[in-house]
Each structure stands twice: as C-alpha cells, then as structure tokens.
Structure 1
Amino acid sequence: MSTLPPLVEPAGQLSEEELVRYDRHLLLPQIGLQGQLRLRNARVLVVGAGGLGSPALAYLAAAGVGVLGVVDDDRVEVSNLQRQILHGTEDVGRPKVESAADAVARWNPHVEVRTHPVRLTSENAMEIVAGYDLVLDGTDNFATRYLVNDACALSGIPYVWASILRFDGQVSVFWAGHGPCYRCLFPEPPPPGMVPSCAEGGVLGVLCAALGSAQVNEAIKLVTGAGEPLLGRLQIHDALAATWHTLEFAADPDCALCGTDPTITELQDYEELCGLPPVQEPVPTVEVAELRTMLAERAEGRRRFTLVDVREPHEREVSLIDGSVLVPKGAIESGDGVALLPRDEPLVLYCRSGARSEQSLRALRAAGFAEVSHLEGGILAWQA
C-alpha cells in the first residue's frame, strides 16, 4: 500500500504508439493505464546531466515522463565518458544540456525536454523549480544540495537525492511537510575539504547507474502513488560488498527549514553556508600552447622555470606532463613542500583540471613566491 497519494493527476490519453511502447508498465497493477497517464503528465527536473543525471534522464525518458527539465552549465569532457552515459565521444566540447536533449529525443520522441544551460543559484532556483512537480538531484557538491533542498521545501515539492563517491552511494527522498528534508538528516555541511569530490577521489562508473536508477524508481513511485517511497529512509549501497542497507530517520522538529519554528524562509548564500571561499581576484594562467612553447624553450636552454605537479602520487602514475616535479597540494598548504621549490625562478603549477593548482598558487603567493602561474584547464586540457 502506498503511504502517499499520487503526486500528479493523469493526462487525457495515450496514443496507440504509446500504448505499445509502455505495454509492460500497463500490465503492472500498481501502475496500469492511470499510472502511465500520470507519468505522461509529470514534469521532472534533473539537476546535473552528469554521472547520476545520465541514467536518471535515460530511465525517466524510457518511463514516459511527459516533461523533463535539465539544469547544467557544464560542457562534455573526455573524462566524463567513463560514467556519463548520456554523452559520447562526438559530444566532447558540447554543452551537456544539448547532448542530453538529443539523447532523450532519440530514446523517446514523446518526451518534451526543457534545457536550462545555467548554474543553479539562489537567484534563479525558485523560478526554475516552480515549473516542475519534483526534482532529482544529480550534483556533486554540498552547496547545490542545500540549495536544491531549500528551493524544493519552500516550493512544497519532493526532492529525490543521491550521492556517490568511489564505491559507495546513498539515496533518499526529502519532502518538507510530508516528512524530513535534507537538513533534518544533515543539519550542517561538513567542513570544506573533508569530503573529496569525485574528481579528487574517483568514482566507479557503474555506481552511477545503480544510484541514478534508484532515484528514478522513487520518482515513479511518487508520481504514480505506487509502493512506499524512501521518505524518512536512507538507502546506502556498497558496490564492493554488493550490499544495500536502509536507515530510518525522522523529521527534526528543530530543523531550521521545516521544523516547528523555522528560521529559514528564503534562499541563502550557499557558498558561505558551506564555508567556500569568496570570489577572489584572478591569478596568472598559462594556456596549453604557451606551456608547450615554454617547455621547448627550456629544453633548448633559452628559458628557466619549474613545472610543478600538485596532484597526488597515484594520479601521476596514470598521466603526467614530462619535465614536471611532484609536490602535492597538501604538502604546499602544510608548508612541508615549500622548501622543495626554488624561489629564484618562475613556477608553473598544474593539477587535473585547474582547481587545486589555483589553490596551491594562492598558498605559494602567501608564502612569498612572486612568479607563480598555473596551467589553465590542468592536465585534462593538456591531453585534449
């Protein structure tokens, strides 16, 4: 028995082609024709067209959800293709929302795709979310998770959340007014840097499929009223052990957002909430073509500089730029690695994509190094 009524009213009718396409759904008593008509009338927003968003969009489209929204301001990179199955080699460099829309159109021409090629912010989230019945979150940072949760809670719609890292994943449903919200489970974000991103810690590609499809399962149950949603339950998956565990949790009466005396009544500054640094002045960068020229001139004895790899040793085993030395970001920030670097010649730093090298550059500037720049786009740009 369902614990919640169906989220969406049924549409008028299905075409003959749709009746054939969704035949296996129509045979399920818990879904049937009325459930499929509800899916046909549903509007689902997917935040992020990456690892989780890819399988989520694929199965939402296959299930016959009438309107799919996609929010993402990123472009497809080669390193995405190991897990982001929406995109192919030919899509590298394209906006992810465009690649996603094309993929959905191939899978199901009956689905309308609405693209939002923007970064979700406190300024636009309420307006974007207002056009949908529920939201699936496929992002990989805490600031956006709190933003999506708060926008959904203030809009009164359910929020289907998942998180993945390395070999582990979590999934749940949050719906203020009907059960806990994300803040009930995670009242405060972790300290900055405590939890690595997938770009830093890695992720098993197929884990995205397991958690993304679990999100779609919850969306289908919410839309149709079938089964019992993961509201007030956290499902935890360990891919290495091949286990799923479920933990129960309740709405927090003291929750700042959905408690009995809420203090959050509008969207906040989520970068500040998560302890992220404010926007800083730009730092000197070196483009790939420029670095190639610099390395050639150094080999000919016409230029002096030190190329510094600030990644971790295991990353260097996979790929590196010849002629670089390894001094990890952590060693630079702790001060242990500073003595390893020359002060009498320029330094050029690089990491995977440019984020860690920029942070290392700022740390070296604070330590008194004057001539420091970093490779724009990191080793990914170098390889491309």
Structure 2
Amino acid sequence: MDETFTLPEPGEWNVERNYCASEILSTLEELDPDIAFIQEIDINCKRSGDRNHFKEIASKLGWKGGFVCEFIELESELRTEMDQGGGVHGNAIFTKHDISFRVLDHEHHPLDWEKMGETLCEPRKGRYTLVAEVVIPKEPPILCYCVHLEVFCGIIGRIIQFSEILEDSVKHIKTHPYQLIFGDLNTMGHSIARFSRLYCNDRYRFLSLGLTESEWWDNNLFDWHINDGDINLKLQSGGFKVLESLFKRSFTFKVLRASRNPGFYDPWSPTKDITFHNKNYLGLYSAKLDWTLICRFNVINRWIGNNDYSSSDHKYMMVELEFDKLSDLSLRNYWEIKRNFWKKESNLVDDKKGKISLEEVNNESNDRLPSLGVESESGTNGMKFIQLSHDRYLQT
C-alpha cells in the first residue's frame, strides 16, 4: 500500500463520574477529538445530579457514541452522598465518523463486587471493556478499546485483565492492523500504596520495589513482542528470575501466551508523564494511570491537559496520528524503533501551542514526521438504545 492515510486527534480521559459536568463538556468541545475514549461516565446516579451524562456529551458535541455499563451502582445507605448510586456507571467511545460496537466480557475479575461491594461501601456489580470499529471515509477501519481496569487488586489482577484485551487484539490484527487501546489502566501499585492491602494485595507490592507500576508494565509486558516467543518470559519472571523461582508462578500459561505485544507503544514516559496526583496523604502519591497505546500509527503531536485537576481527578491525553504504511509493518524492529524513540525524551520539544512535537525521528522510511492539517466536521446524530443483557447495555 503506497498511499499514506491520516487521522487527526484521538483523546482519552477519565472524567471522574462527571462531578464537574459543565467543565468537562467545555473541555471536550474545545479539544474536539476525532475519537474520544471516556471512562467513568455516570448515567442517572444521584452523586452526579441524576443526569444522563453520556447523552449530554453526545448531544452537546454532535457525536455518535457507545456506552457500556461497567457497574450497576446500587443505591444504598452505606454510600456517602459523594458516592451515592441509583444509576449506572461506565465507559464510552465517541466519534464524528461511522462506528459500530461490541462488548468484551472479561473472564477474570480480580474483585467480586457482588460480595465485596458492601464492604467497600459501594454496592455494585459488573466490569466490561467497550470495543468499537471506527470508519473514517476513504481510510482503513480502526479497532478501538476503551479500558478501565480494576483498582482494588494488584499488578497480577490487572495484568490478567489486560491479557484478555491483548488476546482479542491479536485475533483481529490481520483484518484490523490499525488499533488503539486507550484508557485508565489503574497502574497505581507503588509508593505509599504498597502499604495498603486494599490497593496492593499480591506479591508484587514488594517484588516491584524500585519501580512504579507503570514502569513495571513497560518493562515486563509491553517490551515483549509477539514474535519474541510463544510466551512472555519477562512477565513469567517479573523482572526477578531468582526471587520468582521461590514462589508459585504468578501467571498461567494462557495468560503468558496472551500477554504478548502485537505492536503497541505508548508515546508517554511511564514515570514523568503523571496523570493522577492524590491531594491526600500530604500529596505524596502520584501515578501514570492513563495510557494511549498505539498500533500501526506514527505520532505527529501529543499533549496533556487538566493539569490543575479542576475538571476531573485525571489529566486528559491527546495524540495526533498518521497511519503507517502496511508495507513497513512486518518487521519487529520497526515496532522496537518506535518504542525506543519515545523513550528518548531528548527528542521531544515544546512548541508554542503547548503541544509536544517531534524534533527528529530515526526510522526506516522518514527522517522527519510531517505535521497534519486536517479539519473535522461534527453533526447532529440520533440516539438509540440497545439492550445487551439484564445487567449490561449499550447506548449509541
């Protein structure tokens, strides 16, 4: 394929239950992403004003969208006013383009919410990942995953959850080579969180000492390409071959096989690009929880916002992309060059708009990545409701 395609700007944001609904709408309207991956949207929950925030976002911005119910938020006297349910809570993908949806049911659930919900004072049930195919006119389809992993577990539980997403990705990589996995992976098992068995309840609360959880993922999960072997040996050892041999294996063969990277890279630092900073605990805790994992695209620009956390307790992340040529994608070292390039922060410079742009890039086909000048249009789209099951539904 000789033609180069372009995609303007996908973005991802955990909007923290739409507590700051007006500010969130204003920010999304200003950003105007081509595809928006949004986590923690409330529909008809008392804590966020009994409003359908999914419908408000779609209607206000003229977007098509799909919503998957991650949790049924049961109304209960156990909940505080800030946590009170009565509706549903979940994740969404919005776009201006044609889109179709499906739901990935996770086999592994690190926490049984039906049993533990009352203990945590948040009675609820469920967890799913929303998958969408976005079709931009005259361009290849893009397979999109909007992800929100469990927070009340540890590295092992989240890795197993994510391995199911990678397994699904690999099944579709031949028909959909252009893929995006955006979302809040809750990679928070480090720093003072290690002292809490609520947030770090497995052996890696100590075996990952010296690393943030996002670093651990980058070293042991994302650094093992699918062509490196039948199972992820880095994940099997967890970075400590001697110590790991003293324990029962953390991951099954199925998980180790599924946890191989088919070509994703994240153009952000796993340590410096913080997206969450907890004001409690003397402000000592911060983490990179949010990821923009990209497969078969060049990153032209990237930027991050909500730095004062005034609209949500997470920062948003935006990227500007260009489709790679398929003829360049069969080589493993092409993916390795992408990863290595984005690890070299000396190659990143701030431009006048506050975005991060590429100064130089060293790959097989380009000496410099061009800037994009693509304008997008939005229109008014109808809403429809699709019942998927008794405890899960999709709105578009």
Structure 1 and Structure 2 fold alike (TM over 0.5): no
Q: Higher helix fraction: Structure 1 or Structure 2?
A: 1
Compute the TM-score of the two structures, normalised by the length of structure 1: 0.28
- From the CA coordinates, give the structure whose radius of gyration is larger: 1
Q: Report which structure shows greater RCO (CA 8 Å, sep ≥6).
A: 2
